[in-house]
C-alpha cells in the first residue's frame, strides 16, 4: 500500500483535472453541436465515467498479484484511456479556440442582436414608404375620393402590418432585450447565438411573404434585407478547428494531471510492499 496522504492528493488532482477536461470538452461540444445540450451532456458524462473507470482499472491491474492478467488489464485500460482522451481532443481544442477569440464572440453576439433589431425597423420603413407611394398613386393617377383612398390605403396597411404580427414583434423584442449575458463561459451562448442568426433569416422571410402581394398600380417589390457575414463568422466557431500550440499544451497538461493517480500508484509500488511477483 502507498501513503494515504500522497494518494489522496493524487486522487484529488485526478478528479479536479478530469472535471476541468470534461467542462472544456462539453463547452467545445456546445459549439460543435450548435447548442445541443442533451447530446453534449451525454457524451461528456459517458466519456468522463469511462475515463475514470479506465484509470481505476489501470491502477488495479498494476496492484494485483496476478501478474499476467494484471498486465493485460493495465495496458488495455491505458490504451482505452488514450483513445478517449484523443477523441476529447477535438472538442477540448475547439473551446480553447473559442476562448482565445472571446472578443470576436462578444462582437458577433452584439452584431447579431443589433441586426435582429434592425429587421423590424427596416420593415417599418419599407411599409411606410410603400403606403405613402400607394396613397400618392391613388390621389394622382386613379383620382379616387379621399374616403376611397383611405379605405384602400388601410387595406394595404392591414396586409403589410397585420395585428398578430405586431404581437409577435413585441415578444421578440422582449427576448432580444434579455440576450445581454451571452459570453464564451455561458453554456447557452452557442445555442442562443445560432438560434438568433437562423431566426433573423426566418423573420426576413416572414416579412417577405407578408409583403409579397403587390396591389394594382404599385411599383415595388417584396421586402428584402441584405444579409451580412454574421452566419459565416458563426460557422467559424462551430467548425472543428485543428488544434494549435496552445490547445496542445493545455491538453498535454490536462492529460498529465488526469493520470496523476495512476502515476502516483507507479511510484508507490516502487517504494512500498505489495509489488507483483
Of 23-27, 66-70, 98-102, 233-237, the poorest mean pLDDT is in 66-70
**247/254 Cα distance (integer angstroms):** 10
Q: What is the dihedral of CA 77, 82, 83, 84, to 10 degrees?
A: 90
Give residue-wise pLDDT tens across range 138-175.
Answer: 888 877 788 888 898 999 998 998 888 877 888 888 88
**Closest C-alpha among 152, 118, 108, 112 to residue 223:** 118
Q: Please state at what angle helix 4-32 crosses helix 260-269, rounded to 10 degrees.
A: 150
**66/62 Cα distance (integer angstroms):** 9
What is the reported pLDDT for 267?
A: 59
Task: Report yes or no: 10 and 264 within 8 Å, Cβ to Cβ.
Answer: yes
pLDDT tops 80 at residue 269? no
Give residue-wise pLDDT tens across range 28-79.
Answer: 999 999 889 999 999 999 999 999 899 888 888 877 777 788 888 889 989 9
What is the reported pLDDT for 173?
A: 83
Residue 211 buriedness (CB in 10 A; 0-12 / 13-18 / 19+): buried
Q: What is the mean pLDDT of the chain?
A: 85
**277/268 Cα distance (integer angstroms):** 16
What is the reported pLDDT for 163?
A: 81
Burial 215-234 (b: 16+ CB within 10 A, else e): eeeeeeeebebeeeebeebb
pLDDT tops 60 at residue 268? no
Amino acid at each position: 500500500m502507498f501513503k494515504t496522504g500522497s494518494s489522496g492528493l493524487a486522487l484529488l488532482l485526478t478528479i479536479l483535472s478530469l472535471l476541468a477536461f470534461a467542462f472544456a470538452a462539453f463547452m467545445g461540444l456546445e459549439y460543435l453541436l450548435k447548442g445541443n445540450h442533451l447530446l453534449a451532456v451525454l457524451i461528456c458524462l459517458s466519456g468522463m465515467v469511462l475515463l475514470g473507470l479506465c484509470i481505476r482499472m489501470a491502477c488495479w491491474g498494476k496492484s494485483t498479484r496476478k501478474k499476467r492478467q494484471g498486465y493485460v488489464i493495465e495496458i488495455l485500460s491505458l490504451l482505452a484511456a488514450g483513445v478517449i482522451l484523443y477523441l476529447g481532443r477535438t472538442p477540448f481544442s475547439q473551446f480553447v479556440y473559442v476562448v482565445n477569440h472571446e472578443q470576436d464572440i462578444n462582437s458577433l453576439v452584439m452584431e447579431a442582436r443589433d441586426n435582429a433589431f434592425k429587421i423590424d425597423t427596416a420593415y417599418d420603413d419599407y411599409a411606410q414608404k410603400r403606403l405613402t407611394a400607394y396613397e400618392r398613386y391613388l390621389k394622382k393617377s386613379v383620382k379616387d375620393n379621399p374616403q376611397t383612398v383611405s379605405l384602400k390605403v388601410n387595406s394595404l396597411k392591414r396586409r403589410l402590418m397585420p395585428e398578430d404580427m405586431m404581437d409577435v414583434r413585441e415578444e421578440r423584442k422582449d427576448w432580444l432585450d434579455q440576450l445581454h449575458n451571452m459570453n464564451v463561459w455561458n453554456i447557452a451562448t452557442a445555442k442562443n447565438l445560432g438560434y438568433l442568426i437562423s431566426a433573423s433569416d426566418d423573420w426576413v422571410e416572414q416579412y417577405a411573404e407578408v409583403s409579397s402581394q403587390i396591389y394594382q398600380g404599385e411599383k415595388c417589390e417584396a421586402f428584402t434585407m441584405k444579409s451580412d457575414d454574421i452566419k459565416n463568422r458563426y460557422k467559424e466557431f462551430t467548425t472543428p478547428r485543428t488544434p494549435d500550440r496552445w490547445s496542445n499544451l493545455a491538453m498535454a497538461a490536462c492529460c498529465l494531471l488526469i493520470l496523476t493517480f495512476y502515476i502516483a500508484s507507479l511510484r508507490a509500488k516502487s517504494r512500498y510492499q505489495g509489488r507483483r511477483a
